[in-house]
Amino acid sequence: MKNIASVKQSEIEEKWYLVDARGQRIGRLASIVAELLQGKNNPLVRSYHIPMVKVVVINATKLDFTEKRGITKFYKSYSGFPGGLRFINLKDLSKEIPERPIENAIKGMLPRTKRGDEMMANLKIYSTETHPHVAQNPEVVDIKSIKL
């Protein structure tokens, strides 16, 4: 059996990725972003490491979903008070808060632990093309060329 040298947390470099959501389906986009956030594309990252990956998603308003999905997919929220259960469909939610459907889809694909919360903190979603992370020189990820 071959021994592999262990990599320390301090030796993992921080990496920024830029993902364009224009014309993408929400599930495919979310699965690719979740893999990036977990560091699955870096062979040095182990399960006990915190991946030093930040992902910026732009054009959240131009996300693509079928008309049937927009009407039948519901999100619920509960205020904690009697009668405080509210439902909103995907079409209306994407008009009100365009970042929320992507955020919910990615959060559902990450671990439900403190580590998953740290990964969600490394996700930045913007509804337009402009974002304040230009100085970090994010690497552009072409979703259409990735095969799962």
Q: Is it the case that residue 4 has pLDDT exceeding 80?
A: no
Please report whether residue 109 resides in a domain. yes
Mean pLDDT score of the chain:
91
Cα 42 to Cα 48, 96, 98, distances in angstroms = 14, 36, 30
pLDDT digits (tens, 9 = 90+) for 87-141: 999 999 999 999 999 999 999 999 999 999 999 999 999 999 999 999 999 999 9
Task: Identify the residue with better confidence: 78 or 7.
Answer: 78
Q: Do 58 and 131 touch, CB atoms closer than 8 A?
A: yes
Instruction: Please state, in angstroms and rounded to a whole number, the distance separating the CA atoms of residues 32 and 24.
Output: 11
Percentage of the chain lying above the pLDDT 90 cut: 75
Q: Is it the case that residue 1 has pLDDT exceeding 70?
A: no
Beta-sheet pairing, 139-141 with 15-20: parallel
Query: Token pair for residue 27?
Result: 């599930």
Q: How many C-beta atoms surround the C-beta of residue 117 within 10 A?
A: 12
CATH number at residue 38: 3.90.1180.10
Q: Is it the case that residue 43 has pLDDT exceeding 90?
A: no
Domain that holds residue 60: 14-66+98-141
Please report whether residue 77 resides in a domain. no
Which one, of 25, 21, 37, lies nearest residue 120 by Cα?
A: 37
Instruction: Give the pLDDT score at 60.
Output: 95
24 falls in which pLDDT band (50, 70, 90)?
A: very high
Please report whether residue 34 resides in a domain. yes
Q: How many C-beta atoms surround the C-beta of residue 2 within 10 A?
A: 3
Please report whether residue 31 resides in a domain. yes
Please report whether residue 105 resides in a domain. yes
Q: Is it the case that residue 2 has pLDDT exceeding 80?
A: no
Q: Is it the case that residue 49 has pLDDT exceeding 90?
A: no
Cα 120 to Cα 14, 32, 37, 53, 73, distances in angstroms = 15, 14, 8, 11, 22
Q: Is it the case that residue 30 has pLDDT exceeding 90?
A: yes
What's the number of domains the chain is made of? 1
pTM: 0.89
Please report whether residue 134 resides in a domain. yes
Please report whether residue 1 resides in a domain. no
